[in-house]
Amino acid sequence: MNSPPFRFERLHQDAHCAARRSVFHTPHGSVQLPTFMPVGTLGTVKGLTIDSVRATGAEMILGNTYHLALRPGERVVAELGGLHEFSGWQGPILTDSGGFQLFSLAQLTKIREEGAEFRSHIDGSTLQLSPERAIEIQEALGSDVAMVLDHVIELPSDTDAIRDATERTIRWAARCLASATRPSQTQFGIVQGGLDPALRVACAERLSDMPFGGLAIGGLSVGETPAEMYQIIEVTAPVLPEDKPRYLMGVGRPQDLLEAIRRGIDMFDCVMPTRNGRNALAFTDQGPLRMRNQIHTHDKRPIDENCPCPACRHSRGYIRHLFRAEEMLGPILVSAHNLTYYARLMADARAAIEADHFTDFFHERMRGWGEIHSPSAN
């Protein structure tokens, strides 16, 4: 008998916290969890070739429905073999539905029950994005995981507005499921509810009753404090099914990843490692390094002695020189370093969970970053 195209295999939970070690099997390969997914909004992780992305240790990447529908258009991508063939990435791909753009492009968007109407940020043309259209685009793109269209609003917001957006998200989720036609693609639901624990739990419970391949926590990292975010993760994660992946959307500080892992989250994405890399900030276990700073001018050391990335074959002085000289190689190298750092952090987290040492690992990393962690979830 053939194995199902999607399967979640839970291997171990740390004996001292909710951190989980799992595997997510997809038609384009298996993903070791917890994992961080580099963001390739337009079919490319900015500044890096696909081979370079693969060399960082990444196993799954993202694309974006809204942006790819605008250019080159999902039909063009489909004609060129789908997003895997189009980009050259043969591993698993997750596509965001465009729901985040309801928040980030709010001034260009009108939201009604039937869906959202965008004004293109490129040329002002109109894009209609309903739940059905969001799935249609993602099926044409051919991603492994399609995210449902959700209604994201900024925080803080009026309680009635948050409740309205949450209820709309649930209704839209059901419409997304009903419109699916591609067996080789699974859908993830998205839990909304702002900073209201009761709304979050209610939304999670209702979405958990629907046949999604996984569930995400959305609508965070949009104006709330880290402590508020951790509280929402802590009340929401236990309500999500234990036998499906749990994905925290758009959250990317290393300390936030570990805080979420110890609360039971499996998957992450964020533009932070590549955006910061383009701006000369390199992540390390001792905290970030600002590579334009004069202190690095004569420094012969690599960014990280133990890092296998191409940037760490060079001195800090050389990396600084590239940025000061505005050479494009500087952003490329530090972007590669940062993605490698995130992949290594996730690999170390997985090993710590397997050994029931995640709490010790968490404290060690937090001390290195100079962080005072929240006391809960211990």
DSSP character string of 329-372: HHHHHHHHHHHHHHHHHHHHHHHHHHTT-HHHHHHHHHHHHT--
CA torsion angle 40 45 51 55 (round to 10): -100
Entry field: residues in the chain: 378
Q: Angle 175-178-183 (CA atoms, 0-180°, nearest 5)?
A: 130
**In contact, 158 and 194? CB cutoff 8 Å:** no
* Pairing outcome for strands 246-248 and 267-270: parallel
**Residue 269 catalytic?**
yes
Token couple for 94 = 């997750």
Phi, psi of 329 (to 5 degrees): -65, -30
- Per-residue confidence (pLDDT) for residue 136, from 0 to 100: 98
Q: What is the CATH number of the domain that holds 53?
A: 3.20.20.105
Q: Specify whether the backbone of 244 is left (phi greater than 0), alpha (psi in -120 to 50) or beta.
A: beta
Give the 3-state secondary structure of residue 195: coil
Extract the tokens encoding 229. Answer: 């975010």
Both structure tokens of 37? 């997914």
CA angle 122, 80, 343 (to 5 degrees): 75
Q: How far is CA 251 from CA 17, 215, 270, 286, in A?
A: 20, 15, 6, 20
Whether 360 is in a domain gets the answer no
Query: Residue 281: what pLDDT?
Result: 98
Interatomic CA distance for residues 270 and 44, integer angstroms: 14
Catalytic residue among 14, 150, 266, 269: 269
pLDDT of residue 125: 80
Domain residues for the domain of 104 are 7-277
What are the average pLDDT values for consecutive 10-residue runs of the chain, which has 378 residues?
A: 78 98 98 98 96 98 94 97 98 90 70 86 83 97 97 88 96 98 97 97 98 97 92 98 98 97 98 98 98 98 98 98 98 98 98 98 97 59
Residue given tokens 């009761």 in the structure block = 198
Tell me how many domains the chain contains. Answer: 1
Report whether 149 contacts 130 (CB < 8 A). Answer: yes
CA distance 310 to 336: 7
Is 285 within the bounds of a domain?
A: no
Residue 330 lies in a domain: no
Q: Is residue 363 part of a domain?
A: no
Residues 6 or more apart whose CB falls under 8 angstroms from that of 180 comprise: 135, 139, 146, 187
153, 154, 159, 160: CA torsion to nearest 10? -30
pLDDT of amino acid 187: 98
Give how far Cα 131 sits from Cα of 22, 62, 137, 213, 248, Å: 30, 19, 10, 17, 21
Q: CA-to-CA distance for 67 and 48, rounded, in angstroms?
A: 19
Any domain includes 302: no
Residue 95 parent element (H or E): strand 93-96
* Residue 208, SS3 per DSSP: helix
Show the CA angle centred on residue 297, arms to residues 291 and 299, nearest 5°. 90
Please check whether residue 336 is in contact with residue 56, taking contact to mean a CB–CB distance below 8 angstroms: yes
Considering the domain boundaries, does residue 230 fall inside one? yes
Q: List Cα–Cα distances, 124 to 70, 195, 216, in angstroms.
A: 11, 33, 31
344 within a domain of the structure (yes/no): no
Residue in 96, 256, 266, 304 annotated catalytic: 96
Triad 8, 11, 17: Cα angle to 5°: 110
Q: Is residue 188 part of a domain?
A: yes
